Amino acid sequence: MSLYKNTASQKAAVFAYDKTTGAAKTGDAANITAYLSKDWGAAAAVADTNPTEMDATNMPGWYAFDLTQTETNAEVLVLAPKSSTANVIIDQVQVFTENLAVNRTGAVGSVTAGVTLAADAISAAALSAAAVDEILDEVVEGALTMRQILRLLLAEAMGKATGGGTTSIAFRDNADTKNRIAATVDANGNRSAVTLDAS
């Protein structure tokens, strides 16, 4: 069993059985009570005087106590249920709680969990020039970076082209100073050799 520390609306389930026959005990909710110790402190009766029987037919013997937020505010909980019915045994339960809502500041005091950001809080304007360069200079294919691939695509899609209808086709850079792509092709335009200049 696991419970969240200092959190309301949680339940602790316990199992009641007859110590003589070992059979699950049903219909005993009104006779069951429990005490709770927090972090090995003094025991106190739980606020939920009697548990709720979960399902006498499909889960015979199981009962659930509702715990308050205060009752879960500890690292270790020990729940000691008992029944006033003769021969009924209910084992004690020890629980180590977990933190649910975390709101911690990072070691440098700059990171806090749970901060709500606007949907467009991270925008292009938030990226530094250095960050953009890191993205564009990342190798994508072979030795080609994103920046180089964009240059080649621009030349093929919008640059001047020469050699159409021949076996040598060239696509120029935007300034028309060099061949970005020089390809050897056959009569059908199939490329057999390609020279790239993405510098």
In angstroms, the CA 198 to CA 151 distance is 6
Strand order in the sheet with 161-162: 161-162, 168-172, 179-185, 191-196
What CATH architecture is 10-96?
A: Sandwich (2.60)
Closest CA to 180 of 197, 166, 195: 197
Question: How far does Cα 123 stand from its chain's mean position?
Answer: 23
The model's pTM: 0.51
Contact 65, 46 (CB under 8 A): yes
Q: How far apart are CA 177 and CA 173, in angstroms?
A: 6
Closest among 178, 182, 176 to 196, alpha carbons compared: 182
Tens digit of each residue's pLDDT (9 = 90 or more) over 157-195: 888 888 888 999 989 998 999 999 999 989 888 989 999
* Cα–Cα distance measured from residue 185 to residue 137, given in angstroms and rounded to the nearest whole number: 30
Show me where the domains of the chain are located. 10-96, 126-196
> DSSP label at 125?
G
pLDDT tens, residue by residue, 129-164: 888 888 899 998 889 999 999 998 998 888 888 888
